[in-house]
Structure 1
Amino acid sequence: MRRWSSRRKDAVSTLTSEFDRFQDDFDQLRTKLVRLAGDTVKEFSDSPQKFADLKDVIEGRLTVIEDEIGDLGRQLRIKGGEAAGRVEKRVQERPFASLAIAFGVGLFAAQLLRRRRSS
């Protein structure tokens, strides 16, 4: 049963690292957008205050979106951990049924891959 625990931790770790990578990509996008807004202000010197205000609005909205993504990531980690725990519990309760289901899913996936390769 340790294998299931280990796999659950691996899955949570994978989700966490993917989400962290997504946040890093988002931070880079945010930096580029803020830089672009700053460049726009420099180019349009006839109304720099208007573009400075636009830059502030964009930064504010990006911060809100970033916070919401962080909240969603935390919820995803919690829900993923709960789901993995439920699956682990059911597998421990019914190991043979779980094995049969896994075998059936494997056969189904093999058939799909076989059809895809022959096409």
Structure 2
Amino acid sequence: MSKMQSIRQAAFLLAAATLLFLSLASSAFAHATTLWCYVENNRVYVEGFFMGGRKVQSGHVVVVNNKGEKILEGTTDKEGKFDFEPPYQGDMTILLKVDQAHDADFELTEQDFLDAAAETE
């Protein structure tokens, strides 16, 4: 094999490896779980979806306080939604667990509750 053929073969293998890596990375990104939470009228609204737009149905929602203690849990509906009246209006973390490979979390702060209350005034 000539030196030029070796260079072409190496370039081809590098290009093929790069394309394979990019296709795997975009595939993983396309299935990433996204969690959006907001406060409105003294309720917390949770929405879970995958990057392609598909809703997270039957996702397990766990809400923990700033000490890591579970304060409530629930399940997303067919639209990927869950809402609750929080037991307090302060810092909390909302976790969405779909399976071992897909989960997401969202931090709500006391300021989020204050901002929501100011919007309704």
TM-score (structure 2 length as normaliser):
0.33
- Taking CA–CA contacts closer than 8 Å with sequence separation of 6 or more, which of the two structures ends up with the larger relative contact order? 1
Higher strand share: 2
Q: If each structure's helix is expressed as a fraction of its own residues, which one has the higher value?
A: 1
Q: Which has the larger radius of gyration?
A: 1
